Every structure is written in structure tokens, then in C-alpha cells.
Amino acid sequence: MKSKSRHTPHRNNVFRRKALAIAIGSAALGFAGAATAQAVNGTIYGTVPVAQGETVQITGGAGFNRTIAVGPSGKYSVTLPVGTYTVSLLQNGKIVQSRTDVSPVAAGAVAVDFSTSAGAQNVTMLNAINVTANAIPAIDVSTTNQVTTITAKQLQVLPLQRDAADIAMLAPGVGMGSPQLVNGPLNNPINVFGGASTAENAYYIDGMNVTDALDAQGGLELPYGAIEQQQTFISGYGAK
């Protein structure tokens, strides 16, 4: 195996964390490898009953407020920073329906659909109960990346030590580094991803590489309570 410079480690593992810094924006921490630029946005999309004068309003923390038009087929879509939002359907400027606690994941999408209120009012009796379920999504064979996303809502109830490395341990293929190795720059533990060495990781905060520049052992972190989302990416090589 060819040796690597201490300042340019081969990165083939990724661990990313989204965090809300103070009250003015989002920040993310990650341990990353051979990956593209870190994703810091998610998508909200859905369908609404087709009507005139219809728009969708999305509001969130730090004063975020955006109103988007609805397409002729009743579909809408918007890409925005990860966080928790309220999505409202407006007709002629008035809110007719709302969905709260909508949290798209980084590089992911969440569907928020609105149904016609008139149809709901006409229902007076149920003659049957139909149970439906979504099919299990097909395995994505187009990439060798394994992605695990943990949100702030999950972190509030998970019995974890308050450290990014412990959150990363929830992802398959992640283990603790050797106790004989030094800790990170903040004396934080260092993990191994997919069997690679601890020097093959990279750490990101909102797309900014914060890996220890001296020996690539660990990186900077943000407080546990500030995390909005944390993503663990483990990349590898295809069979070919």
C-alpha cells in the first residue's frame, strides 16, 4: 500500500453532522472521505388540490419565510437549508391547511401533501377500512455509499453519550478506533469507517473541512445540543 502524505490523507469515509448554530443559521460537522461537496440543503415537495390563487408558504426558525407558486397540476417543490419548518397551503392569501414539524434531511426530500377540505367534509360514514402501505424501496445499486441520517428529534430520545463519535456508532460499519491512538484536537474519540484507518477520515462543518491539518486524526465538533442533523457516509469501491 502506497504511503500517503500526512497533509493529504486518502479519504474514503464520510461522517457529516448538521447543527443549528446559535440562532442565525445552520452548521454541520462531518467525517468525510472521497465524496463530493457536503450537502447542507433538503427538499420539501408535494401535491395540493388545484385551485385558483393557490400558493404554498414555508416558515421556520431565524425568520425563514418563503412563498412558492403551485404548478398547473397541483405540484410544488422547494429546496432549502435543513431545519424544522411549517408548511401552509394558502388560497387567495389565506391559510387553509398547515403541516408542522417538517424536517427534510440533508440531500434528501420529504413529501407534504394537502387534500381537499370539501372532500373531507362530505364523509359521514365508513363502510370499510382499507389498509395500505408503501413498498420497500429498491436497493440503490448506482452507488457504493452508505448513508445514515440522525435528526435532532431522534437525538433527544436516544440513550447516547453527548459526542459526535457516539452518534456515528449508530451507522453500520462504524467502530471505535484503537485506544492506543491519540484522540482528536478536542480530545474527542476517533472512529473507523468501513474498516479504514482513522487517518482516512475527513470532518466537515457546513461544507467546510475542519479535519486536524497536522495529522488528520479527528476534527472539530459542535455541541451535542446544537445538532440539527448528523449524517454518516461510508463510501467504497464498486466490484468492478
User: Does one domain contain both 68 and 31?
Assistant: no
Give the residue with greater pLDDT, 22 vs 233.
233
AA identity, residue 184: G
Question: Is 28 part of any domain?
Answer: yes
In a domain, 131, yes or no: no
Q: Are 168 and 183 in contact (CB under 8 A)?
A: no
* CATH assignment of the domain containing 63: 2.60.40.1120
The amino acid sitting at 103 is S
Residues 15-49 have pLDDT tens digits of 433 443 332 223 334 444 434 446 688 899 999 98
The pLDDT value recorded for residue 230 is 84
Highest mean pLDDT among 71-85, 113-127, 159-173, 199-213: 71-85
Whether 239 is in a domain gets the answer no
100 pLDDT tier (thresholds 50, 70, 90): very high
> Are residue 87 and residue 164 in the same domain, yes or no?
no
For the CA atoms of the chain, what is the radius of gyration? 22
Rounded Cα distance, 210 and 204, in Å: 5
Same domain, 196 and 77: no
Structural domain count, the chain: 2
Whether residue 228 sits in one domain with residue 159:
yes
Task: Supply the range of the domain harboring residue 77.
Answer: 41-118
Asked whether residue 181 is domain-assigned, the answer is yes
CB 216 within 8 A of CB 199: yes
Pair 208, 166 in one domain: yes
Q: Which of 3, 1, 4, 2 is nearest to 202 (CA)?
A: 4
In degrees, rounded to 5, the angle at the alpha carbon of residue 214 between the alpha carbons of residues 22 and 165 is 50
CA atoms within 13 A on the CB side of 185: 13
CB atoms under 10 Å from CB of 178, counted, come to 10
227 plus 150 within the same structural domain: yes
The answer to the question of residue 46 being in a domain is yes
Last residue within a domain, chosen from 100, 118, 136: 118
